[in-house]
Structure 1
Amino acid sequence: MSLMTAAAVKYANLEKYVYWLLLATIAVIPLQQEVSSAMVAVTGFSGFIVAFLRRHEKRKPVLPRFVQILLWLLLLLGYWSLHNSADEVLSTYNFIYVVGQYALLVWLILHYAVDKKTSAASDLDLHKWHEWPRPLQIISVFLGMSLFVSVYGIVQHFTGVVPTEAWVDNDAFPELKTRVISTLVNPNILGGYLVLVISLITGLLSTSKEKMWQLVLGSGILIAGLCLLYTYSRGNWVALAVGLLLFCVCFCRRALLPLIGIGILGMWFARGAVWHRIISIFGTEDTSVALRFAYLESTLFIIKEHPWGVGWYGYQFIYPEYDFYLNNPDVIMYHCHNLLLNITAELGWHGLAVFLLLWFCIIWKAAELARFGKSRWLQGFGRGYLMASAGILVGGLTDHVYFNMQMGLLFWLFAILIMVCSEFNRKLTKA
């Protein structure tokens, strides 16, 4: 064996170790923010070393040039917006800490989640996980860890050890005793996470033909769905319902009427806090709904007077000037409870335009996978991502759970993984 061949083998093994670190990083993202940050840093540092050692090897770009430009443009707009912040130092620190992790994870996915295989079976052997394509291994690790998160949340509900004072209006919902948070920060963030989980599993289940897979995936949906119920997160209930309806219309129309029937029966037999939470969506009696309308009104004024944005992480500094509802300068509001308005408020209309164009490109690739995927799991992942995107948009009307760094990491993880799978599918097509 020549020296060059031996070096190539050694570096290939090092590359595999970084990939294992990446899998471990993805597993801990929903568990604890500081630990996930440390794992992203360690994996990124290791990845840079191996990439430097393998710098002479040719790599074909995974992302289309236009998507690359949009990613860099969004990054530059975020950096440029720092000058608009009322506290530029704190905004800069947060930008480096948060966006730095997003960028590092994107780089790691593009370098270490790409599979060199040019074939993929439609039916995957449960006992040969090591032979699965890397993108599917990543999805499986994420969904496997979601089982722990969901079960832990269900246990919290029955043990009643979770404080609810911060998230429940006791006057409006006296019967609501516990809202679970599992390993995440609050019930709404957990709800957004579970909508993502259920969407991905639903997509994979819809294309699976193997009975064992159907049982495993179906069980995952039931467990995650039960945990989502116990979050009592109304916005995420609606997000999941809309996502499921759109999914059935696009990919499984036979299930549309049964789904509507189950939904009607579920609401009919719902009792206590569940039914009360559902009907409260249409009113403003509780402080949570009233506050959200106040936040949205304030944000519209902020956007009107600051069309170029108030800077990354700058919403909290400008909000007291527009706090017409509470009128309390001691109340810190880190974000607007609306995904798209929050982006507009901080990055300006131009930042929103770039973000939406970038996300549209990713959704387009997901749609291509859903329709033209050469393997059933590719089709299922594409379908699941489309359903998750609908859930993100609908849930984002009343909350901005992706402000949370763990959720932000997951957003970029699956967005870039769609692009990796699109390239993988292109190789399968050529082969």
Structure 2
Amino acid sequence: MNSIWQNLTLSTLSFQQWRSASYLHRFLSPLRRWRQSSFMLRWGDLLGAVLVSLVFAIAPFVSDDKSSLAVLLTACAGFWVLLTVSDGDTGNDRHTANELQTELLSPQGFWQTLANPGRSSPLATPIHFLVVLYWGVSAAATALSPVKRAALTGFSKLTLYLILFALMARVLRSPRVRSWVIGIYLHAALLVSSYGIQQKISGVAALATWVDPTSPSAKEPRVYSYLGNPNLLAAYLLPAIALSLVAVFAWRRWGPKLLAATMLVVNATCLYYTGSRGGWIGFAVMAFVLLALLFHWWNVSLPRFWRTLALPTGLGLIAAVIVLAVLVVEPLRDRVSSIFVGRNDSSNNFRINVWGAVVEMIKDRPILGIGPGNVAFNSIYPRYQRPRFSALSAYSIPLEIAVETGIIGLTCFAWLLLVTLNLGWSRLQQLRAVRNQDGFWLIGAIATLLGLLSHGFVDTVWYRPQVNTLWWLMIALIASYYTLPAETQTALEDV
């Protein structure tokens, strides 16, 4: 049974032996020699980190109809290709976790480590394999799409996101870069949340009908900050809440810890003011996962009595606080209760009708779907649309994936999640054993993935660039912790 699980989660898979025997890898040796003489590419990973940081610095402040983010994503893709085709042998420069940590803490080794973060984390991981497989399924769905030109637009966007993932997984192997990129995103989110709270204080007019006008909560304004949509803002803030919480423990000095605590309060407050029911569901799931993983991290140092009672006590307290808040805070109670009234709420009724039409689309093309992207969806959906229920997406991540890439794509995506979460959990155990503080970022990434997925079951803001880049940041964050299986690494060192 254990071997079946290892095969399913690709726990023993290694691309390093394939790479050393690859004819393509040998063919690119002139490029590797050129890279060794290039001053710029000596700092390739650091320059890649700068490009990645720019993505998260500007993403919430540019609208979807602007080309600046697309140009930046294209630059990231081109730079990743340049780094990858000229990359040298990664087998001769490995560090143990303790050696790498010592080097990072040494001022002399700081810049050297940024330029070359070491090879204890290989460039290719089982997550990369599933990402490439998902890309291949999407390519097949595009080729067989009934609206090929529209699907090609979505496929090109997906390709940019997946290459961004590959670049992030590469540069985030350096703990310093990892902390910096997360810090830049958290600072951007702090600005976004602060403006959202300012909108609540000064009053803001809704830009769309986001609440049933007959609902008691219709009188409560919903903030949207720079993102123009409260549901999109809520999804954008979920990673900020998780990462700011774990930053309180991961950042070592008191100044950054206090800043992280401030970010946590501001982000959580702004999330509440969005009035996003999907965002609140994602937050509840994320909070429970965060508490469970943090308890798991600390339980080895707890007294024996609390090792058994701490987790159920903590989860019970969170549940009690949530229930009490729903009962006492009237706007919260009105919004939460609207979840359970079914079609009596116009937003619920709209989604139910869209979901019904999307299911019919899936039934007609169940294998590979209609092709990726909202342009393809908008080309096909009107044929199945129910009267007065036009839609730009499926309003559910599983349904969106199924309608775009069929059952094959949905299965591949589920496999990718399984492998990612398994890798994150196994690396968390290793970091917990040596009390490495970087394990807190893994806790935040795992909780964020599950929170965004929970939100995504009832909405598809996940496909907007401000959120999609964050989704792949979490995947890349987990992938950056990957290390070779012990037996594979030993075999390579003997070559």
Q: Same fold (TM over 0.5)?
A: yes
Q: Which residue of 2 aligns with 1:40?
A: 73
Counterpart CA distance in 2 for 1:371 and 1:305 is: 44
Change (3 A) 1:22 1:165: closer
* Cα shift at 1:232: 0.3
Give the corresponding residue for 1:322.
384
**Residue type of the alignment partner of 2:275:** Y
Q: What is the 5 A alignment of 1:204-215? A: 204-205=247-248, 211-215=254-258
> Is 1:164–1:179's contact at 8 Å kept on the other side of the alignment?
no
Aligned mates of 2:317, 2:258 — CA distance in 1:
19
Q: How far apart, in 2, do the equivalents of 1:141 and 1:174 lie?
A: 35
Q: Does 1:227 align with 2:286?
A: no
Q: Deviations over 1:229-288 (max 9, x none)?
A: 1110011112211221233234332532332332233223302x3321111111132210
Tell me the distance in 2 between the aligned counterparts of 1:387 and 1:140.
Answer: 18
Q: Identify the residue that residue 172 of structure 1 maps to in structure 2.
A: 215
For residues 148-185 of structure 1, the C-alpha deviation after alignment (integer angstroms, 9 at most, x for no partner) is 11111111222223424331222224643421111224
1:25 maps to which of 55, 58, 65: 55
Partner of 2:181: 138
- Describe how 1:94-113 pairs up with structure 2 within 5 A: 94-96=154-156, 98-113=157-172
2:412 paired with 1:354: yes
> What do residues 282-311 of structure 1 show as CA deviations (whole Å, max 9, x unaligned)?
113221011112222222222223212122
Cα 1:46–1:237 shift into 2, 3 Å = same
Structure 1 residues not aligned, in runs of 5+: 116-131
Amino acid at match of 1:58: D
Q: Aligned-pair distance for 1:356?
A: 1.1
For 1:128, the equivalent position in structure 2 comes to none
> Contact 1:179 / 1:230 at 8 angstroms: preserved in 2?
yes
1:311 aligns to 2:371 (yes or no) = yes
Q: Match of 2:191, as an amino acid? A: F
Mapped to 2, the partners of 1:47 and 1:312 lie a distance apart of 23
CA contact (8 A) 2:402 2:410 kept: yes
CA contact (8 A) 1:62 1:419 kept: no
The separation in 2 between residues aligned to 1:198 and 1:258, in whole angstroms, is 19
Instruction: Give 1:350 deviation, angstroms.
Output: 0.8
Structure 2: how far apart are the matches of 1:342 and 1:87?
16
Deviation at 1:75, TM superposition (A): 0.8
CA distance in 2, matches of 1:283, 1:153: 29
Q: Is the 8 A contact 1:208 1:376 kept in 2?
A: no
Q: Select which of 286, 291, 300 maps to 2:350.
A: 291
Q: Residue 398 of structure 2 aligns with which residue?
A: 340
Partner of 1:381: 441
Structure 1 residues 254-263 or 306-315, which shifts more?
254-263
Distance 1:56 1:390, change over 3 A: closer
* TM-score when normalising by structure 2: 0.73
Determine if contact 1:369/1:378 at 8 Å carries over to the other structure.
no
Report if the CA contact (8 A) 2:60-2:466 is conserved.
yes
- What do the CA deviations read for 1:16-49 (whole angstroms, capped 9, x no partner)? 3443233222222232243322222234445555
Q: Which amino acid aligns with 1:274?
A: L
CA distance in 2, matches of 1:194, 1:336: 22
Give the count of matched residue pairs.
402
Instruction: Tell me, yes or no, if the aligned pair for 2:286 and 2:448 is still in contact at 8 Å.
Output: yes
3-state SS in 1 of match to 2:227: coil
Q: Deviations over 1:335-369 (max 9, x none)?
A: 11111111011101111111111121111122123
> Counterpart of 1:279?
337
| 8 Å CA contact 2:125, 2:479 repeated in 1 | no
Select which of 263, 268, 285 maps to 2:327. 268
SS at match of 1:29: helix
SS, match of residue 337 in structure 1: coil
2 CA distance for matches of 1:425 and 1:263?
42
CA contact (8 A) 1:315 1:333 kept: no
CA displacement at 1:104 relative to structure 2:
2.9
Call closer, same or farther: CA 1:215–1:56 in 2, change over 3 Å.
closer
2:242–2:290 CA contact under 8 A, matched in 1: no
Change (3 A) 1:148 1:65: closer
State the TM-score, normalized to the length of structure 1. Answer: 0.83
- Please list the CA deviations of residues 121-169 of structure 1 after superposition, one character each: whole Å capped at 9, or x if unmatched: xxxxxxxxxxx62112211111121111111111122222342433122
Task: Tell me, in whole angstroms, the C-alpha distance in 2 between the residues paired with 1:243 and 1:49.
Answer: 37
Aligned to 2:5: none
Structure 2: gaps (5+ residues): 1-32, 92-120, 296-310, 491-495
